[in-house]
Structure 1
Amino acid sequence: MFRSFFPDPKLFFSSALAWTILCLIGWYSVGPALESVISLGPILGQPIVEGQAEPFLTPGKVWLYQYVLMAGYLFCIPWYWIGNNPRWYWWSVVGTVTIVEVVFFDVQIGAWMNSWYGEFYNLLQSAMTTPGSVTLDQIYSELFTVLYVLLPRIAALVLNAFFMAHYLFRWRRAMTFFYMTHWPKMRKIEGASQRVQEDTQRFSNIVEGLASALVGSIMTLLVFLPLLWSLSQNITELPLVGAVNGSLVWVALVSAAAGTALLATVGIKLPGLEFQNQRVEAAFRKELVYGEDHQDRARPLEAREFFLDVQRNYFRLYGHYLYFNVARYVYLQGSNFIPLIAMSPSIAAGVLTLGLFQQISNAFAQVENSFQFLANSWTTIISLISVYKRLRAFEAAIPPGSVSGVDYDDPRYLASDADFGPLPSEEAQPKGV
């Protein structure tokens, strides 16, 4: 699943984590010294004017983005020579770093938007409570300020979505030809054709989606956690608890932990049922495929038995999802009211402005959603576990250290008939299969 696309996956991902930690240490230790020498902030950054909203590209922010770009792509350079799979270097290494970079910048824009919302809603509150204190030009100016940030953000997200679609297809392609290299050893495994054709596509999509969400959640926490901690100083007390330092951070953490534990407990049986569901579906599909070529296969009574197996498993799955979804929706809907309850004493005391309330609500939502990564992704994780089990069983027939030898677009990677060993049947086969 991974070695077909990434160079030496265990080393690649462990070194990526180590490099990230090293870069974080470097940012706080030698970062200021480097900034004074190579930063483009003085050239590209916009100055901060007292009494006005902070621009998106301040000199400090320009240096941060420059540092992240340099750190990300410096990590890519040695991997051009490391590993046994140079075929997919630009997609698996450079492409992965590019996706992570875009996620980081999107989180940074989200943090800037949170600050902008606070100032804009305070402006609206002043306009509503004191007529004539805010001019129309001031409102238009604030809207124009956010417009020049949002338009590039939209363009970047659209291009990233286009890039990710190609990225996922390349990963699927790498897995497909990796498996086809070893097809003679794997063709007799239950649901072999489905695992190559369908499970590779599902696996790459699910892993990429979950990985992007996980990276986004971690980066959101790094950006919004200190912000929410600071904003929590405006919360005078919590209901039933009283004054707590960093109160809303603890509220978000406890809420997310409780929800995750709840869903993990009630959904413990679902991965096994999803895996069994794929097995009975594969058996039913295989019988129908045989029935296309053989008159004695897929007769009504035989097909009925296969379909009844599918029906029984689906009905069991529906029953278990019934109580799982009850717990899931009760938790997710109830969590929407937690910040309102937590801020109620401060709202009643009149210590929050509209802009500050909006700013705290947005920051709390970002932090809580990041803490809720497992809870929000639990159904997707269940699907991933079932696909992972199927592909792991499939890969048991592949020798350790094997690499793909089949790629129809590059003659260097074509396998000869000898690479496949003897044909599994005496039927004539077209060359190159």
Structure 2
Amino acid sequence: GVDRPYWFGDQRWLRGLLGFLVGINLGLVYVNVLFNEWYGRFYNALQELDYPTFKTEILVFGGLATIYISVQILRIYMNQMLTIKWRTWLVGKFLHRYLSEQVYYRLQLGEAKADNPDQRLSDDVSQLTAITLTLSLGLLSAIVTFVTFAGLLWVQSGPLSFSLGETEITIPGYMLWAALLYALLGTWITHKIGRPLIGLNFQQERVEADFRYALIRVRDHSEGIALYRGEPQEGHTLTDLFSRVVTNYKAIMRRTILLTMTTSVYGQAAILFPFIVAAP
């Protein structure tokens, strides 16, 4: 891709910075594992009325919380620093291409005109860098978290045996498989309902940019518009452009409500799901 030279060029410190950020995310996963173990010791102490252990675990929690908060702050800072450095490099590269050989002019002459190239250089590059890093590191953390806790769940759940006709069936680590099926089902439903938001949000950025450009055009040509009394025509144009903003935004509202309702039901069901699965 266009950003390949940035990550695989001569700037080795960038790969080191990315590796350090990956390490921070893996460290957070490990801290979450320590928190999970702490919960077990803490609630056992409460159940057994073990006051010395209770006091010790309170201090342990303070240490874990301090480490977690510190690592989170460091992660956010490193993520933002890497994002702005990547964005600076991309903007410089695209600006060089945009201003060389009169590309900025020739883009307006072709049949497929590029809409709002200024927005592409400003908003789209910003979203590309920020969202790419967030999703990539989030996916890595999710995979590591899954592998870590899947082993714990496999050991703790044990086998499930039942009869199907005259056949005796045993499912080892059945709670892990149930959790996987529940997660896959929820992911599929969320994807089917939320996917139209991709196109709607893209269209929203386009119509917002068109409306913003029209407002800037009125400001830049204010003398001519005032001289020729062009306010009614400009007002009609601006009203039409803003109506497109409103229409698309209402479509986003409807789809977001549907998605929120689905995820809320799924999230609330997830509270009872482990107890239902553990009941056998």
The normalised TM-score by structure 1 is 0.55
Q: 1:171 aligns with which of 86, 94, 104?
A: 86
Opposite residue 214 of structure 1, the aligned amino acid is: L
Opposite residue 284 of structure 1, the aligned amino acid is: F
User: 2:6 aligns to what?
Assistant: 6
For 1:5 and 1:154, the matched residues in 2 are separated by 34
For 1:141 and 1:117, the matched residues in 2 are separated by 13
For 1:292 and 1:324, the matched residues in 2 are separated by 39
Question: How is 1:300-319 mapped onto 2 (pairs within 5 angstroms)?
Answer: 300-319=235-254
* Cα contact 2:25–2:75 (8 A) shared by 1: no
User: 1:335 aligns to what?
Assistant: 270
Task: Provide closer, same or farther for how the CA distance between residues 153 and 318 of structure 1 changes in structure 2, counting only shifts above 3 A.
Answer: closer
* Cα contact 1:103–1:216 (8 A) shared by 2: yes
Query: Over residues 110-130 of structure 1, what are the superposed CA-to-partner deviations in whole Å (9 max), with x where a residue is unaligned?
Result: 112212211221111111xxx
Query: Over residues 348-399 of structure 1, what are the superposed CA-to-partner deviations in whole Å (9 max), with x where a residue is unaligned?
Result: xxxxxxxxxxxxxxxxxxxxxxxxxxxxxxxxxxxxxxxxxxxxxxxxxxxx
Opposite residue 16 of structure 2, the aligned amino acid is: V
* Cα contact 1:5–1:175 (8 A) shared by 2: no
Q: Secondary structure at the match of 1:337?
A: helix
Two-structure CA RMSD over aligned residues (Å): 2.5
Q: 2:75 aligns with which of 149, 155, 160?
A: 160
User: 1:261 aligns to what?
Assistant: 188
Q: Which has the higher contact order (CA 8 A, sep 6+)?
A: 1
Overall identity of the aligned pairs, in %: 24
User: 1:151 aligns to what?
Assistant: 66
Shift of 1:255: 0.5
Opposite residue 270 of structure 1, the aligned amino acid is: L
Deviates more, 1:152-161 or 1:293-302: 293-302
Question: How is 1:2-151 mapped onto 2 (pairs within 5 angstroms)?
Answer: 3=3, 6-7=6-7, 83=8, 85-86=9-10, 88-91=11-14, 93-127=15-49, 134=50, 136-151=51-66
For 1:141 and 1:246, the matched residues in 2 are separated by 33
Shift of 1:246: 0.6
User: 2:166 aligns to what?
Assistant: none
Opposite residue 308 of structure 1, the aligned amino acid is: S
For 1:159 and 1:334, the matched residues in 2 are separated by 34
* Cα contact 2:160–2:174 (8 A) shared by 1: no
Shift of 1:151: 2.0
The answer for unaligned runs of 5 or more in structure 2 is 108-113, 163-168
For 1:228 and 1:2, the matched residues in 2 are separated by 42
For 2:192 and 2:78, the matched residues in 1 are separated by 37
Q: Which is richer in helix?
A: 2
* Cα contact 1:4–1:174 (8 A) shared by 2: no
For 1:177 and 1:319, the matched residues in 2 are separated by 38
Task: Provide closer, same or farther for how the CA distance between residues 116 and 243 of structure 1 changes in structure 2, counting only shifts above 3 A.
Answer: farther
Shift of 1:243: 6.5
* Cα contact 1:5–1:171 (8 A) shared by 2: no
Task: Provide closer, same or farther for how the CA distance between residues 316 and 215 of structure 1 changes in structure 2, counting only shifts above 3 A.
Answer: same
* Cα contact 1:229–1:249 (8 A) shared by 2: yes
User: 1:197 aligns to what?
Assistant: 122
Task: Provide closer, same or farther for how the CA distance between residues 5 and 328 of structure 1 changes in structure 2, counting only shifts above 3 A.
Answer: farther
* Cα contact 2:6–2:89 (8 A) shared by 1: no
